[in-house]
Structure 1
């Protein structure tokens, strides 16, 4: 790739050139980690060969540091999918249940934002549909950071909440559902031809906080891809052009992911793989009453500290899913798409 960049006509195609540069930067980062580790190991071995009593404390600390790095790299091999190291687009949809389900969707949005912040990732809310009384009906966010999709693909599916509803005057226990979707944000790196005749584009005024924040022009956009029924909307950018571009990028990512999952399903059908009997049910339950527990139904991983999980402590669930997927030989892109009725 470096030799290709050095060719005189490399930048004759700027778009292709930028794609090569992005890929080269990614590969350099990956190789650089291993090269740095290799040098550190060589230095540590030389230190050990000295067999100096005065250096043993320093040597022990260095071995511990290198062991941590190796464990991290070993874990990252679980995210060896073609797009696992890409940014992600995350969507949350409230299920049936009105205000209770919409509040649950908002709680999930906060949970994922907290998780991303803990991993020093950047989150941008691209579109939000506010709830009737509280919470949100749906939202779409971009999560920018290395392995964002590799982590978040484990969250695809239906999430179930059991609690005493703060919106029920009789203080009854309610069960709510919300669906989480995730796609790799690869719109700028893939070639997908979209026929404009297949699109229905609606423009509307972006909602705001009121007063001077209410848009007087139609800057928000909703794009429907008629053949697949995919609908994407964006209203958080400053202009109609910017919202349209963001929405088109999200649509490209969704179409790409849909084609990729359809191909996986076709291969699975040809191989005659078993279908999970629990397909369509929740992947994880968050129980706040009568006891406190969060349990992932795919892996059996569970945690009693529900508040920590809702504050973004999700790594244990994500890692358990990734290890389970590798151990079972199952594709890590399997998801539950149907939101159960209450």
Structure 2
């Protein structure tokens, strides 16, 4: 087998090894047998919520086992085809099998990355909030660019995107926007995007064509499942209604139906500006509970945060990423040092490389934190 094909096989084998480690392969089949036995219990559906959770956990395990077996089978089949083609000197068969191996290596690497999404709320839907920083029109335009970037990323993933609220900039862009993004592992993917994003470019709003630096904050919170209890004391919140306005005069409510909830102990403010005031109360309360749940998650992961603190301060907190469009083209994550010169691709939603690098760093940080707690 040619050296290039052998290198591809080695990559696939490494991905398989890591997938099996994350799955605890030696006990996977035994755990599946336990799930199957519990599924056959005639009293299972006496508690529908618990039954649905069990079925989801079982299906996730089945899918993970099937992925490992499928990748291994496809790898072995293509290796056999290459060997057969080389024996019969059939170059076309060899090339087809080599191309199939390359595609399989990409699939295995993707599955390996997805296997890192095993946090408590990683599988949940997510809320995404974007807030422009100081700088007027320039920062509002940057906030709108980031909003478009994340919407495009979510759409490429096949996720459902719902605009919860939006405040338009005075001349261009947006002051703020909040989205609910629904799909498997939506929070797990997006959680690493929380932080300050910095843009350097020649401003299209500056007649002197000077270079400007803008900052926008991104905040990500998991949508809280119904089985997660988050208590909110009515005495701790204030609920206000107001008339909302959308970008460019669109989606303007003719009644004071938009809702703002302020949580006094934490200072958290959540809003929603759909047509129904009742619906807005529900959306804003769910967003508040998600924010409070995120605070709890942050407390639990304190050791991990200490292992790799975000670098750089700007505006509301730590800067995580720089997007430089002038005088050169570069997007660089300041936590992982992952970078690319394909700024257009990134702003069009190509973010998996950045997210993957941060996920890998989080796993390494968690391992170090666990090791420290064992000492």
Asked if Structure 1 and Structure 2 have the same fold, meaning a TM-score greater than 0.5 normalized by the shorter chain, the answer is: yes
The Cα of 1:161 is off from its aligned counterpart by 0.7
Contiguous gaps of at least 5 residues in structure 2: 1-34, 370-375
What is the aligned partner in structure 1 of residue 3 from structure 2?
none
Kindly report which structure 2 residues correspond to 1:1-342, keeping only aligned pairs within 5 A, or say none: 1=35, 3-4=37-38, 6-37=40-71, 40=74, 53=88, 59-60=97-98, 62-208=100-246, 214-236=252-274, 238-265=275-302, 267=303, 278=312, 280-329=317-366
Contiguous gaps of at least 5 residues in structure 1: 333-342
Provide Cα deviations, 1:141-190, integer angstroms capped at 9, x if missing partner. Answer: 12222222222122111100111222223322211100111122233341
Matched length: 328
User: Residues 138, 331 of structure 1: CA spacing in aligned structure 2 closer, same or farther, 3 A cutoff?
Assistant: farther
Is contact 1:159-1:180 (8 Å) kept?
Answer: yes
User: Residues 211, 194 of structure 1: CA spacing in aligned structure 2 closer, same or farther, 3 A cutoff?
Assistant: closer
Is contact 1:187-1:249 (8 Å) kept?
Answer: no
Cα RMSD between the aligned structures? 3.3
* CA–CA distance in structure 1, aligned partners of residues 308 and 97 of structure 2: 51
Q: Name the one with the larger helix percent.
A: 2
Q: Which has the higher contact order (CA 8 A, sep 6+)?
A: 1
* CA–CA distance in structure 2, aligned partners of residues 206 and 258 of structure 1: 28
Provide Cα deviations, 1:20-60, integer angstroms capped at 9, x if missing partner. Answer: 44444444443443454466567668878989747766654
User: Residues 128, 187 of structure 1: CA spacing in aligned structure 2 closer, same or farther, 3 A cutoff?
Assistant: farther
User: Residues 16, 249 of structure 1: CA spacing in aligned structure 2 closer, same or farther, 3 A cutoff?
Assistant: farther
TM score, norm. by length of structure 2: 0.75
User: Residues 13, 298 of structure 1: CA spacing in aligned structure 2 closer, same or farther, 3 A cutoff?
Assistant: same
Secondary structure of the structure 2 residue equivalent to 1:218: coil
The Cα of 1:101 is off from its aligned counterpart by 0.8
Which segment drifts farther, 101-110 or 153-162? Answer: 153-162
Is contact 1:104-1:176 (8 Å) kept?
Answer: yes
What is the aligned partner in structure 1 of residue 372 from structure 2?
none
User: Residues 209, 167 of structure 1: CA spacing in aligned structure 2 closer, same or farther, 3 A cutoff?
Assistant: closer
Secondary structure of the structure 1 residue equivalent to 2:362: helix
Provide Cα deviations, 1:308-327, integer angstroms capped at 9, x if missing partner. Answer: 22111222222222233334
Secondary structure of the structure 2 residue equivalent to 1:128: strand
The Cα of 1:217 is off from its aligned counterpart by 2.7
User: Residues 175, 2 of structure 1: CA spacing in aligned structure 2 closer, same or farther, 3 A cutoff?
Assistant: same
* CA–CA distance in structure 2, aligned partners of residues 180 and 211 of structure 1: 25
TM score, norm. by length of structure 1: 0.81
